[in-house]
Amino acid sequence: MAKSPSFSCSACASVTTKWAGRCETCGEWNTISEDAGISKGPAKSLGGKRGSSVKLTNLSTEEAPPPRTTCGIKELDRVLGGGLVAASAILVGGDPGIGKSTLLLQAAAQFARSGLKTIYVSGEEASAQVRMRAQRLGLTDAPVQLAAETNLRDILTTLEAEKPQLAIIDSIQTMWADNVESAPGSVSQVRAAAYELTSFAKRKGISVILVGHVTKDGQIAGPRVVEHMVDTVLYFEGERGHQFRILRAVKNRFGPADEIGVFEMTGGGLDEVANPSALFLSERGAPSPGSVVFAGVEGTRPVLVEFQALVSPSPHSQARRTVVGWDGGRLAMILAVLEARCGIPFAGLDVYLNVAGGMKVSEPAADLAVAAALLSAREDAALPADTVVFGEISLSGALRPATQTENRLKEAQKLGFTSAIAAKGGKAVGVSGISLNTMPDLTGFVGEIFGAG
């Protein structure tokens, strides 16, 4: 029985069984096109090394998985989960000009020097332009093969002939599959190109790194199904006004998710930052109202960052709430808890909250640090400079202990902090050189630290 054709919208990626002039999902005109595989042929039965079935009870007798390949860039190896896994597909996204191509060119050079046959395919630059960047970064001696091509069929043919162990595609939005009737960069093209490259990597046992552009809200452009296809999704983040960049794993089938690696952008490329806490706090001066140091954990790494708050009378009828680096909805929740449980109103006051250095924090354990920064700014009272704060706030005003308390305290002690404020009820841990002051609820915290509540 012949398989019925499938049609998809190049604007929203919705799939239908028939063609139409207007997409019923997004309302766009002339965006429906038929989907077709890049290679067609008779169906094959399961067989061979990749297709054969293996009983779970026999997995221990199978051949051991190949070891990971490390490139020598420790921050990148950390985010990958310990190194590059053979036959894996990795998607790297980030804002334009943030340094994705620079990072991957440096990684390609290091992998090639470690013995991996590497091909760097650029769809945005000519080979001569890539060589110019490599010369600026001091990578001209690396045995990396360069190619400038956007036709997906030609790229797959080249990879089939060269048989590399690592292929870097920069970027997936520039790839063009001749069997898909839409422009490069469209949803259909991105989905088809990602599928073919990922399938090729699994069949041939090579690793593929795809570079992806991001939208205005910071998400990787194209259909979300691309993120489901690949094994690992990395985001390269950073503020243009700051010199450091953060490589964050949001999905990783071969290692911990939410792991971060920190790099510093210099004239010679991206340098590793072995101690990111010291970098984030390097510009912190004398104690000032609204400044609080939060002892957080990103993946398996403890990181200290500074929360800065500013509270001022609002000249408008509706007060402003501006947040950079944290969740705005969680800020509104903490303001409501402070007013309802502690009797401290913020009505008629503009509230500004910022995570210093461009760091983005999503951990709930930052609640207490944010509350401390808000109260410090409102009361114009600075917290001691040698104190770190962490703990989660519930809607009842109770404080919940954070995980990995010992690691947070050790990182704080390493940087010279002598006291910490946290929630009561966690595992009793003791770190020499730092005193731990535990609080049962937010009301007790406000009363002891600021003398009110």
The answer to whether the bond into 171 is cis (omega within 30° of 0) is yes
| Nearest alpha carbon to residue 244 among 268, 222, 219, 262 | 262
Q: Which residue has the tokens 């001066």?
A: 285
Q: Are strands 301-313 and 349-355 parallel, antiparallel or unpaired?
A: antiparallel
Which residues line the annotated binding site?
Answer: 94-101
Per-residue CA distances from 66 to 49, 86, 164, 200 (Å): 15, 7, 16, 19
Residue 10 has pLDDT above 90, yes or no: no
Question: To the nearest whole number, what is the mean pLDDT of the chain?
Answer: 86
Which residues, 6+ apart, have CB-to-CB distance to 420 below 8 Å? Answer: 295, 387, 388, 389, 390, 408, 409, 412, 434, 435, 436, 437
Q: What is the DSSP letter of 66?
A: P
**What is residue 411's predicted lDDT score, i.e. its pLDDT?**
92
Residue 193, token pair as written in the block:
């190109």
Closest CA to 378 of 442, 447, 327, 309: 309
Among 36-45, 59-68, 287-296, 334-343, the least confident range: 36-45
Binding residues for ATP: 94-101
| Each residue's pLDDT tens digit, 307-336 | 999 999 999 889 999 999 999 999 999 999
pLDDT at 426: 67
Taking only the tens place, the pLDDT of each residue in 169-209 is 998 999 999 888 888 888 888 989 999 999 999 999 999 99
pLDDT tens-digit readout, 103-117: 999 999 999 999 999
453 pLDDT tier (thresholds 50, 70, 90): very low
Please count the CA atoms within 13 angstroms of the CA of 239 that sit on its side-chain side.
12
pLDDT of amino acid 58: 55
**Span 245-296, pLDDT tens digits:** 999 999 999 988 889 999 998 888 999 988 888 878 877 777 889 999 999 9
Buried b (16+ CB within 10 A) or exposed e, 306-323: bbbbbbeeeeeeebeeeb
